Copies of this chain bind each other. A is one copy, B any other.
């Protein structure tokens, strides 16, 4: 395990910029992974994340049944695999094996980390009140990991229909905002 823990108070800095994410689940001993871009921060600490998963996704049923998932953040170089993950279903294939992604055992949830991702967030469902209306889950991040070998990873952002924009230049402006 080369991932190192990230303080939970820093998690929002990963999710707030809106990166395309992977979501893993595990149910009845079988792990799956999907692609997700509909997520946002809800609280700094403990970090709460809201996300929407289509109920047509195989992962939706797993998340609903187990109440656990991992949000894994892929850098630019993983984009081709991320799209393949998004265009296939865990009903039909073992996506980890098919697309060459490596599941790692998580500390506190059954869903696996993704070794190739630069960050992994172990999550538990804490609020289901908007699941029925919008497929919207509130998750608490209970453990966060980053890969120290991937420095300044560029994330990707989905603009629809396979069009993505990668992170460009970073800049800092004087701000009192957290």
Contacts and interface: CB of A to CB of B under 8 A. Distances in A.
B162 A177 contact: yes
Contacts of A50: 40, 50, 52, 134, 136
A40 to B, nearest CB: 4
Nearest to A135: B42
A20 to B, nearest CB: 9
Contact of A175 (B10, B51, B161, B170): B161
Interface residues of A, number: 54
A168 interface: yes
B171 A168 contact: no
Contacts of A161: 175, 177-178
A87 interface: yes
A157 B162 contact: no
